[in-house]
Protein backbone atom coordinates (compact mmCIF):
# COMPACT_ATOMS: atom_id res chain seq x y z
CA UNK A 1 0.00 0.00 0.00
CA UNK A 2 1.30 3.46 -0.85
CA UNK A 3 2.35 5.86 1.83
CA UNK A 4 0.93 8.73 -0.23
CA UNK A 5 -2.52 10.21 0.21
CA UNK A 6 -4.03 9.41 -3.20
CA UNK A 7 -6.70 11.97 -4.00
CA UNK A 8 -6.50 12.98 -7.70
CA UNK A 9 -10.15 13.98 -7.72
CA UNK A 10 -9.29 17.02 -5.62
CA UNK A 11 -6.71 18.34 -8.06
CA UNK A 12 -7.48 21.12 -10.51
CA UNK A 13 -7.59 20.85 -14.29
CA UNK A 14 -4.18 22.45 -14.66
CA UNK A 15 -2.62 20.06 -12.17
CA UNK A 16 -4.07 17.10 -14.06
CA UNK A 17 -1.96 18.01 -17.09
CA UNK A 18 1.28 18.16 -15.14
CA UNK A 19 3.57 15.11 -15.45
CA UNK A 20 2.99 12.24 -13.02
CA UNK A 21 5.50 9.61 -11.98
CA UNK A 22 4.38 6.28 -10.52
CA UNK A 23 6.85 4.22 -8.50
CA UNK A 24 6.38 0.56 -7.56
CA UNK A 25 8.89 -1.05 -5.21
CA UNK A 26 8.27 -3.33 -2.23
CA UNK A 27 11.30 -1.81 -0.50
CA UNK A 28 9.90 1.15 1.44
CA UNK A 29 13.28 2.86 1.80
CA UNK A 30 13.77 2.74 -1.98
CA UNK A 31 10.24 3.98 -2.65
CA UNK A 32 10.73 6.97 -0.42
CA UNK A 33 14.21 7.69 -1.78
CA UNK A 34 12.99 7.73 -5.39
CA UNK A 35 9.97 9.80 -4.42
CA UNK A 36 12.11 12.38 -2.65
CA UNK A 37 14.58 12.55 -5.54
CA UNK A 38 11.86 13.23 -8.08
CA UNK A 39 10.06 15.70 -5.84
CA UNK A 40 13.33 17.58 -5.42
CA UNK A 41 13.08 18.60 -9.09
CA UNK A 42 9.40 19.52 -8.86
CA UNK A 43 7.80 16.34 -10.18
CA UNK A 44 4.60 14.81 -8.87
CA UNK A 45 5.00 11.27 -7.59
CA UNK A 46 2.73 8.48 -6.41
CA UNK A 47 4.36 5.44 -4.76
CA UNK A 48 3.08 1.88 -4.38
CA UNK A 49 4.20 -1.26 -2.63
CA UNK A 50 2.57 -3.67 -5.09
CA UNK A 51 1.29 -3.86 -8.63
CA UNK A 52 -2.28 -4.36 -7.36
CA UNK A 53 -2.19 -0.99 -5.59
CA UNK A 54 -0.91 0.65 -8.76
CA UNK A 55 -3.46 -0.97 -11.06
CA UNK A 56 -6.31 0.05 -8.76
CA UNK A 57 -5.20 3.68 -8.66
CA UNK A 58 -6.90 6.09 -11.15
CA UNK A 59 -4.43 7.28 -13.77
CA UNK A 60 -4.36 10.91 -14.86
CA UNK A 61 -4.53 12.00 -18.50
CA UNK A 62 -1.11 13.61 -18.38
CA UNK A 63 2.45 12.76 -19.43
CA UNK A 64 3.44 9.89 -17.13
CA UNK A 65 5.96 7.17 -16.56
CA UNK A 66 6.26 4.15 -14.33
CA UNK A 67 9.39 3.36 -12.35
CA UNK A 68 9.14 -0.36 -11.65
CA UNK A 69 11.26 -2.74 -9.63
CA UNK A 70 11.91 -5.88 -11.65
CA UNK A 71 11.52 -8.14 -8.60
CA UNK A 72 8.55 -7.48 -6.34
CA UNK A 73 7.51 -9.58 -3.39
CA UNK A 74 5.60 -12.55 -4.81
CA UNK A 75 5.43 -11.16 -8.34
CA UNK A 76 7.54 -10.07 -11.29
CA UNK A 77 7.82 -6.62 -12.75
CA UNK A 78 7.94 -8.22 -16.19
CA UNK A 79 4.53 -9.79 -15.54
CA UNK A 80 3.13 -6.38 -14.63
CA UNK A 81 4.64 -4.98 -17.81
CA UNK A 82 2.57 -7.53 -19.75
CA UNK A 83 -0.59 -6.66 -17.80
CA UNK A 84 -0.06 -2.97 -18.47
CA UNK A 85 0.16 -3.70 -22.19
CA UNK A 86 -3.07 -5.70 -22.12
CA UNK A 87 -4.85 -2.88 -20.28
CA UNK A 88 -3.64 -0.37 -22.87
CA UNK A 89 -1.82 1.70 -20.24
CA UNK A 90 0.80 2.99 -22.61
CA UNK A 91 2.97 4.93 -20.19
CA UNK A 92 6.73 4.35 -20.58
CA UNK A 93 8.40 2.07 -18.03
CA UNK A 94 11.79 2.56 -16.39
CA UNK A 95 12.89 -0.67 -14.73
CA UNK A 96 15.21 -0.79 -11.73
CA UNK A 97 16.71 -3.84 -10.11
CA UNK A 98 19.40 -5.06 -7.80
CA UNK A 99 19.40 -8.51 -9.39
CA UNK A 100 19.19 -7.83 -13.11
CA UNK A 101 20.85 -9.85 -15.83
CA UNK A 102 21.27 -9.46 -19.56
CA UNK A 103 18.38 -11.77 -20.49
CA UNK A 104 15.99 -9.93 -18.18
CA UNK A 105 17.09 -6.55 -19.54
CA UNK A 106 16.64 -7.66 -23.14
CA UNK A 107 13.16 -9.03 -22.43
CA UNK A 108 12.09 -5.81 -20.69
CA UNK A 109 13.45 -3.59 -23.45
CA UNK A 110 11.89 -5.69 -26.22
CA UNK A 111 8.56 -5.37 -24.44
CA UNK A 112 8.86 -1.59 -24.59
CA UNK A 113 10.75 -0.46 -21.49
CA UNK A 114 12.54 2.84 -22.09
CA UNK A 115 15.36 2.25 -19.62
CA UNK A 116 16.79 -0.26 -17.14
CA UNK A 117 18.74 0.97 -14.12
CA UNK A 118 20.74 -1.31 -11.84
CA UNK A 119 20.68 -0.52 -8.12
CA UNK A 120 22.43 1.42 -6.80
CA UNK A 121 22.01 3.96 -9.58
CA UNK A 122 23.17 7.56 -9.80
CA UNK A 123 20.50 10.15 -9.10
CA UNK A 124 21.23 11.84 -12.41
CA UNK A 125 20.76 8.58 -14.32
CA UNK A 126 17.29 8.22 -12.82
CA UNK A 127 16.40 11.84 -13.55
CA UNK A 128 17.61 11.49 -17.14
CA UNK A 129 15.62 8.28 -17.62
CA UNK A 130 12.46 9.90 -16.25
CA UNK A 131 12.93 13.03 -18.38
CA UNK A 132 13.28 10.86 -21.49
CA UNK A 133 10.20 8.81 -20.57
CA UNK A 134 8.07 11.89 -19.91
CA UNK A 135 9.16 13.48 -23.19
CA UNK A 136 8.18 10.33 -25.05
CA UNK A 137 4.80 10.09 -23.34
CA UNK A 138 4.16 13.78 -23.93
CA UNK A 139 4.74 13.27 -27.64
CA UNK A 140 2.36 10.30 -27.64
CA UNK A 141 -0.40 12.25 -25.92
CA UNK A 142 0.08 15.22 -28.26
CA UNK A 143 -0.15 12.93 -31.29
CA UNK A 144 -3.31 11.30 -29.91
CA UNK A 145 -4.88 14.71 -29.30
CA UNK A 146 -4.00 15.87 -32.80
CA UNK A 147 -5.48 12.72 -34.27
CA UNK A 148 -8.66 13.09 -32.19
CA UNK A 149 -9.04 16.69 -33.37
CA UNK A 150 -8.45 15.59 -36.95
CA UNK A 151 -11.07 12.86 -36.73
CA UNK A 152 -13.59 15.24 -35.21
CA UNK A 153 -13.02 17.64 -38.11
CA UNK A 154 -13.42 14.84 -40.65
CA UNK A 155 -16.65 13.65 -39.05
CA UNK A 156 -18.01 17.20 -39.35
CA UNK A 157 -17.86 16.91 -43.14
CA UNK A 158 -21.02 16.06 -45.05
CA UNK A 159 -21.01 12.89 -47.20
CA UNK A 160 -20.62 15.05 -50.32
CA UNK A 161 -17.73 16.97 -48.78
CA UNK A 162 -15.98 13.71 -47.89
CA UNK A 163 -16.41 12.58 -51.47
CA UNK A 164 -14.86 15.80 -52.74
CA UNK A 165 -12.01 15.49 -50.25
CA UNK A 166 -11.24 11.96 -51.44
CA UNK A 167 -11.09 13.12 -55.06
CA UNK A 168 -8.97 16.15 -54.20
CA UNK A 169 -6.35 14.09 -52.35
CA UNK A 170 -6.40 11.65 -55.28
CA UNK A 171 -5.01 14.51 -57.36
CA UNK A 172 -8.07 15.41 -59.41
CA UNK A 173 -8.72 18.97 -60.57
CA UNK A 174 -12.04 20.74 -59.96
CA UNK A 175 -13.19 20.15 -63.54
CA UNK A 176 -12.42 16.43 -63.26
CA UNK A 177 -14.18 16.17 -59.90
CA UNK A 178 -17.24 17.93 -61.34
CA UNK A 179 -17.38 15.41 -64.18
CA UNK A 180 -16.88 12.48 -61.79
CA UNK A 181 -19.64 13.66 -59.44
CA UNK A 182 -21.96 14.97 -62.19
CA UNK A 183 -22.17 18.44 -60.66
CA UNK A 184 -21.05 21.90 -61.74
CA UNK A 185 -17.51 23.12 -61.19
CA UNK A 186 -18.89 25.93 -59.02
CA UNK A 187 -20.50 23.32 -56.74
CA UNK A 188 -17.17 21.51 -56.46
CA UNK A 189 -15.41 24.75 -55.55
CA UNK A 190 -17.95 25.42 -52.79
CA UNK A 191 -17.59 21.92 -51.33
CA UNK A 192 -13.81 22.07 -51.67
CA UNK A 193 -13.73 25.38 -49.83
CA UNK A 194 -15.83 23.91 -47.03
CA UNK A 195 -13.51 20.91 -46.78
CA UNK A 196 -10.42 23.09 -46.51
CA UNK A 197 -12.07 25.30 -43.90
CA UNK A 198 -13.46 22.50 -41.72
CA UNK A 199 -10.21 20.53 -41.89
CA UNK A 200 -8.13 23.67 -41.26
CA UNK A 201 -6.01 22.70 -44.25
CA UNK A 202 -3.93 25.51 -45.75
CA UNK A 203 -3.00 23.56 -48.85
CA UNK A 204 -3.82 20.42 -50.79
CA UNK A 205 -0.53 18.94 -49.57
CA UNK A 206 -1.69 19.45 -45.97
CA UNK A 207 -5.03 17.85 -46.81
CA UNK A 208 -3.23 14.85 -48.29
CA UNK A 209 -1.23 14.40 -45.08
CA UNK A 210 -4.41 14.61 -43.03
CA UNK A 211 -6.05 12.01 -45.25
CA UNK A 212 -3.07 9.69 -44.78
CA UNK A 213 -3.22 10.14 -40.99
CA UNK A 214 -6.93 9.34 -41.03
CA UNK A 215 -6.49 6.40 -43.38
CA UNK A 216 -9.16 7.69 -45.76
CA UNK A 217 -9.22 8.75 -49.36
CA UNK A 218 -5.99 6.93 -50.23
Task: Tell me what pLDDT residue 111 has.
Answer: 76
* Res 5 pLDDT > 50: no
> How much is the average pLDDT of 123-142?
94
Distance CA 124, CA 132 (A): 12
Domains and CATH numbers, the chain: 8-149 (3.40.50.2300), 156-214 (1.10.10.10)
pTM here? 0.71
For residues 195 and 168, is the Cβ–Cβ distance under 8 A? yes
Q: What are the DSSP calls for 60-71, one per residue?
A: PSS-EEEEEESE
How much of the chain exceeds pLDDT 90, in percent? 59
* Res 158 pLDDT > 70: yes
For residues 116 and 109, is the Cβ–Cβ distance under 8 A? yes
> How much is the average pLDDT of 185-196?
95
Q: At what angle do helices 123-155 and 204-214 cross, to 10 degrees?
A: 100
Q: What is the mean pLDDT of the chain?
A: 87
Sign of CA dihedral 139, 54, 121, 95: negative
* Res 127 pLDDT > 90: yes
Terminal CA-CA length for the chain? 51
Question: What's the pLDDT tens digit per position in 11-45?
Answer: 454 555 789 999 999 999 999 999 999 999 999 99
Question: What's the pLDDT tens digit per position in 62-97?
Answer: 999 999 988 888 778 888 888 888 888 888 999 988
Amino acid sequence: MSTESHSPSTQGTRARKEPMIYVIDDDEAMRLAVRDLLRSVGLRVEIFESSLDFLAFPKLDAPSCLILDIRLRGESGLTLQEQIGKRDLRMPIVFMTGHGDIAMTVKAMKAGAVDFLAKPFRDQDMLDAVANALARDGERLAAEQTNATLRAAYHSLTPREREVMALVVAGMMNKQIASEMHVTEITVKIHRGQVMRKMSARSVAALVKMSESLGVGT
